[in-house]
Structure 1
Amino acid sequence: GVDEAEGIAMCGDSVAYLSDQGIEVAVDLEHCVDGFKEDKDYMTAVAIEGARRGAACLVICDTNGGSMVWEIEGVVAHLRSELDAAGFDDVLIGIHCHNDCGLAVANSIAAVQAGARVVQGCVNGIG
């Protein structure tokens, strides 16, 4: 395993490497919603580092598909506020919801209402 500082640095280094190659980078923050519940400061630091190193979009993932609408809305609103305060108002926030509890559409709508501008999804169960 790696400690928090190394995890943050690894995210930033990966983003910077791709960004330096001229690639537009979207960082999928896997398990972000669950991670946010456990350690909001760490998840925020990872997101800010991704933005600082050149990410065009930070995608919040409800990887387990068990989050409630208000939880998704809270994470998106918090990260949007933190990104704006850090001077990264041009970095998009995306949402990637799994549908384990039947809330993917509702959670995606809540995310957009809270400031997400990219929605990842699937059609007919493919994607």
Structure 2
Amino acid sequence: MDKIILNELMFYGYHGLFPEEKKLGQRFTVDLELYCDLKTAGESDQMEDSIDYGAVYQVAKNVVEGEAKNLIEAVAEEVANKMFQTFKHLEAIKVKVDKPGPPIPGYYQSAAVEIERERHQHG
């Protein structure tokens, strides 16, 4: 299936288990792969036959910079759900949410989750 790939969308959010994370917040990075049929858009050269990248960014921003969640798993799930609600051409999605420098013992560049969802799983 065709896909639209958006890499390293950056947002500032307040997700985490610890009170200081919810108070201070931090940067989050999101990678998206949106699976859809792009043949019609490729032939018509019309935006309504594809998915608007700017609108995708705004949906992700509203989630990541919105209500604080304990887990980045929940952030990724909400991003996927909102994308299906917003974009009728979207058939499947891969969402990666990366949290640089998580406050857990040890030295980490980041901790991330990646989920894959299909439209039929979301009604």
TM, length-normalised to structure 1: 0.32
Structure richer in helix, relative to its length: 1
Q: Which has the higher contact order (CA 8 A, sep 6+)?
A: 2
Choose 1 or 2 for highest CA Rg: 2
Structure richer in strand, relative to its length: 2
TM, length-normalised to structure 2: 0.33
